[in-house]
Amino acid sequence: MAVGVLITGNELLEGFVRDINTAIISGFLISSRRDPPRMSIMVPDDVGEMHRGLRTLMEGDFRVIIITGGMGPTEDDITVRAVAEFLGRPLERVEDFPTDFEKYRWKISGFSMIPNPVGKAPAMWGHHGDRLIVLLPGVPQEVRGFLRETKIGRVILDHLPLSDTFYLLVKTGGLSEREVRNILSAYYDRIGIPDYMATPSGVILKLKGREEDVRKRAEMIEKILGTYIWGYNDETMEGKVALLLRKRGLTVSTAESCTSGKIPDLLTSISGSSSYFRGGIVAYSTDVKIRILGVPREIIDRYSVYSHQVAAHMAAGIRQIMGSHIGISTTGMAENPDGEPFAFVGIATDRVRTYYREFAGDRNLVRLSIAYYALFRLYQILTGGG
């Protein structure tokens, strides 16, 4: 009664594109109280290799087989034909299907076709014996759209039993994976050993088991980690901060050096962000910090641009320039030849707070991690925990 996934695409195997669809399918199933896929196979855009992957899944006990990729209008999109040949079924033309592409009017005999809610390529589903076979386009947002916004998601769920396994993601900020582990390890006899996942937005703890047991473990972890916990499951840091700013009628502006625009990118990814985000300045050079943000030269000369003092002046300066309730600043080194990357974060409200933290990873990962760290510190202030 399990789900098997077949991912198709030369660009995936060649490393030009990453597989996101398996994660999307898993998230959909878990959030709907179903078990995640037990197998995911990736094959190139080749009929023989697709048949080999399908044969492997068909020989297993997979009740539902989901195939993604190769559903577009170009010549290399051969999934529909390959699956039809494997099943020994002809292709049928659907005269009244709403599309401008002739290729999208053809479906596997006995299958149903569904228009794309966010794109062009249709999906189709049908039965082969007692198995449900679903074909989805390879574009991740289209996979998500079909699962969440069309009947195909319900069709998949109806073929699967409810899972006895309950999942809960506990999201933390402001601590490294090692620091979270060091805190929790003393309580393993009571909370068990969670799965640790280090992400730019913080360390995520994955708990799974019987729902009652998972919720008890989560309650104990909440008491242990306290204000380092900022969210659960699908919640995002930018979403939580945006909600708090809207509720309180607060506005924010940013002055960034090492993150160079990452914080506004996160804040404005939420619909309606113009109600709380005023604007920002990327003050990469020392001259801009002095002339535009008003950081005194003597402060920089005495403490350097990488300091609590400069972060404080940057945050206060942008708050005044933009006329916002809150100013956020970052200054630091996303790459440090002499040690770990680091950043100073300033947050100016009625008073100015500054924070320092070291990070790990490549340049782009560090920059995003610093931006999330700044939002986490803002979240703590807005919730009274900072």
Task: Report which of 8, 5, 146 is spatially closest to residue 79, judged by C-alpha positions.
Answer: 8
- pLDDT tens per residue, range 233-256: 999 999 999 999 999 999 999 999
Give the β-pairing of 352-358 and 166-172.
unpaired
Helix (H) or strand (E) holding 157: helix 151-158
The average confidence (pLDDT) of the chain is 95
Alpha carbons 288 and 265: distance in angstroms, whole number: 21
Torsion angle, CA of 225/227/229/235, rounded to 10 degrees?
A: 170
CB 297 within 8 A of CB 328: no
Measure the CA–CA gap between 214 and 237, rounded to whole angstroms.
Answer: 23
- Percentage, residues of the chain above pLDDT 90: 92
pLDDT for residue 96: 85
Assign residue 174 a region: left if phi > 0, alpha if psi is -120 to 50, beta otherwise? left
Query: How many residues in total does the chain contain?
Result: 386
Closest among 382, 379, 30, 386 to 171, alpha carbons compared: 379
Cα separation, 112 vs 320, in Å, equals: 59
Q: Is 332 helix (H, G, I), strand (E, B) or coil?
A: strand
CA 357 from chain center: how many Å? 23
Pairing state between β 112-114 and 91-93: unpaired
DSSP string, 14-71: TTSS---HHHHHHHHHHHTT-PPPSEEEEE-S-HHHHHHHHHHHHHTTEEEEEEES--
pLDDT 10s digits, 136-172: 999 999 999 999 999 999 999 999 999 999 999 999 9
Residue-range domains of the chain with CATH: 2-158 (3.40.980.10), 166-232 (3.30.70.2860), 237-382 (3.90.950.20)
- Please tell me the distance from the alpha carbon of residue 105 to that of residue 96, in angstroms, as a whole number: 8
- Banded pLDDT at 103 (limits 50, 70, 90): confident
Residue 386 — pLDDT band, cuts 50, 70, 90?
A: low
Residue 353: CB atoms within 10 A of its CB come to 18
Terminal CA-CA length for the chain? 47
Q: What is the mean pLDDT of residues 64-89?
A: 92
pLDDT at 109 over 90: yes
Return the number of other C-beta atoms located less than 10 Å from residue 84's C-beta: 19
| Residue 269 φ/ψ, nearest 5 degrees | -75, -10
pLDDT digits (tens, 9 = 90+) for 220-232: 999 999 999 999 9
Angle (nearest 5°) at CA 115 between 112 and 119: 140
DSSP code for 104: G
Residues 71-85, mean pLDDT to the nearest whole number: 89
- 74 pLDDT band, cuts 50/70/90, is confident
Alpha-carbon distance of 364 to 255, in angstroms, equals 18
Whether 3 has a pLDDT exceeding 70, the answer reads yes
Q: Is 364 exposed, middle or buried (0-12, 13-18, 19+ CB in 10 A)?
A: exposed
Residue range 204-222: mean pLDDT, rounded: 96
Mean pLDDT of 359-380: 96
CB 177 within 8 A of CB 203: yes
